[in-house]
Chains A and B, each alone.
Chain A
Amino acid sequence: DAGITQSPRHKVTETGTPVTLRCHQTENHRYMYWYRQDPGHGLRLIHYSYGVKDTDKGEVSDGYSVSRSKTEDFLLTLESATSSQTSVYFCAISPPGQGQPQHFGDGTRLSIL
């Protein structure tokens, strides 16, 4: 296994509340990613990080922020959750080198009521 842990695995919360999802890696890789998975859309990139304090937006970044204060941790925050953010969220890491596949965590199922 690639050494990625996502927490929590499941969460139910209410509209308007802040939510933070955590991704922790033990591989010391520079690159980390947050995706969301929705039926009919596959996985779509929310944000990614290419080093400590270095982050950038993906294609569906509205309503999300990220932080990376340590190599091993990449946090995804929903400042004020909305029902449209109900989804399964995946963290991924990428080893260095050309063509290396991304390795995924086990996902967090987030339900916003």
Chain B
Amino acid sequence: AQTVTQSQPEMSVQEAETVTLSCTYDTSESDYYLFWYKQPPSRQMILVIRQEAYKQQNATENRFSVNFQKAAKSFSLKISDSQLGDAAMYFCAYRRNFGNEKLTFGTGTRLTIIP
């Protein structure tokens, strides 16, 4: 079974600084997708970024980028120029590329932005 591990329950960063959230996963598959979701206090689950395992290039969405290391099964999220609105729970999720497979989530990292 696939597992996703987020080893940092809480992180904090000064506003305008850069922070990196860690995620590792375990799978025997070679074809899969990885996602980062953001959950602000409003409880919404918001997709931040997506990475396909077969793409070597790291995904980027504005201030959000990932460091995808397939061999190490690592998928970290870097947030640049942190803003107060970035404060949220961040979940890493895995999905193998077969039909419409379920997502397997990590336990989340709570990010606090310090003004």
Contacts and interface: CB of A to CB of B under 8 A. Distances in A.
A88 B100 contact: no
Interface stretch (A44-52, A64-72, A76-84): A44-52
Interface of A: 30-31, 33, 40-45, 48, 50, 58, 88, 90, 92, 94, 96, 98-104, 106-107, 109
B50 A30 contact: no
Which of under 10, 10 to 19, 20 to 34, or 35 or more describes the interface residues of B?
Answer: 20 to 34
Contacts of B108: 42
B51 to A, nearest CB: 9
Question: For chain B, what secondary structure do more than half of its interface residues adopt (helix, strand, loop), or is it mixed?
Answer: loop
Interface in B84-115: 91, 95, 97, 99-100, 102-103, 105-108
B44 A99 contact: no
23 contacts: A33-B103, A42-B4, A42-B106, A42-B107, A43-B91, A44-B105, A48-B102, A58-B102, A88-B43, A92-B45, A92-B103, A94-B100, A96-B100, A98-B97, A99-B33, A99-B50, A101-B35, A101-B47, A101-B50, A103-B47, A104-B37, A107-B44, A109-B43
